[in-house]
C-alpha cells in the first residue's frame, strides 16, 4: 500500500472526512450533508446518493481500492474496478442511510375519517352518551372521547366501533 501519490492522499482525506462525519453523527446527531430541496426537513430519496456525502463515499471506495492495489496495477481495468467499488461503497452507504431513515420515520397522526371502522374498548362512561374509549392509533393505545350515536348505554370493557367522525367528534355504535 503506497500512500505517497494522488490516490493515497485522496483516500486519507476522504477517510478522515468519513470518520469525522461518523463521530459527529454518533456524538450529537449532526448531519453534515446538504438539504437540497430547501424545506429544512431531513427527508430521504434517490437524489441523496448524488449528494456531497454520496460523492464522498464513492471517492472513499474508489481511491481506497487504488491505494491498496498500488501504482503498478493502475491500468484501465484497475480504474474500472475502482469505479465499480466506489459505486458499491456509495450504494452500501445509501442502503445504510435508507435503513436508518426508516427507523426514524414518524407516523402521521390518524384523525377524523381515518379512525372510522376502528374498534375500541369503553374505558369510562363520562356522562349521558359520552364515553372515553381506548383505541389503537399509530401503533399505541390512546383514549379518545366518543358519543353513542344510537343512545345505547355501554359498560366499561364493552367493545365498540367508531362509525362516524364529524368536526373532531367521534360516534360509536
Residue-wise pLDDT for 131-150, tens only, equals: 999 998 877 888 999 999 88
Least confident window among 25-29, 88-92, 104-108: 104-108
Q: Does pLDDT of 100 surpass 80?
A: no
* Mean pLDDT across 91-107: 75
Per-residue pLDDT at 23: 83
Which CATH number applies to 112-172? 2.40.50.140
Classify 115 in phi/psi space as left (phi over 0), alpha (psi -120 to 50) or beta: alpha
- The per-type count for the chain, helices as H runs and strands as E runs, is 3, 5
Residue-wise pLDDT for 11-45, tens only, equals: 999 999 988 887 887 777 655 555 455 444 555 55
Set of cell numbers at residue 23 = 463521530
| pTM of model > 0.75 | no
Give the Cα separation of 138 and 113 in Å (integer).
Answer: 14
Q: Does pLDDT of 55 surpass 70?
A: yes
Per-residue pLDDT at 104: 65
Q: Where in the chain is the domain with CATH 2.40.50.140?
A: 112-172
Per-residue pLDDT at 105: 55
Amino acid at each position: 500500500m503506497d500512500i505517497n501519490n494522488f490516490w493515497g492522499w485522496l483516500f486519507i482525506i476522504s477517510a478522515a472526512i468519513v470518520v469525522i462525519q461518523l463521530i459527529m453523527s454518533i456524538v450529537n446527531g449532526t448531519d453534515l450533508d446538504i438539504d437540497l430541496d430547501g424545506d429544512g426537513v431531513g427527508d430521504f430519496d434517490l437524489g441523496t446518493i448524488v449528494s456531497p456525502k454520496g460523492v464522498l463515499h464513492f471517492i472513499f471506495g474508489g481511491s481506497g481500492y487504488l491505494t491498496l492495489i498500488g501504482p503498478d496495477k493502475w491500468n484501465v481495468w484497475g480504474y474500472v474496478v475502482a469505479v465499480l467499488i466506489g459505486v458499491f461503497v456509495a450504494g452500501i452507504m445509501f442502503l445504510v442511510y435508507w435503513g436508518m431513515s426508516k427507523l426514524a420515520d414518524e407516523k402521521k397522526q390518524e384523525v377524523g375519517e381515518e379512525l372510522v371502522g376502528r374498534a375500541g374498548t369503553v374505558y369510562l362512561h363520562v356522562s349521558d352518551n359520552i364515553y372515553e374509549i381506548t383505541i389503537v392509533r399509530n401503533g399505541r393505545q390512546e383514549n379518545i372521547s366518543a358519543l353513542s350515536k344510537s343512545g345505547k348505554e355501554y359498560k366499561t370493557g364493552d367493545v365498540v366501533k367508531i362509525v362516524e367522525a364529524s368536526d373532531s367528534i367521534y360516534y360509536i355504535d
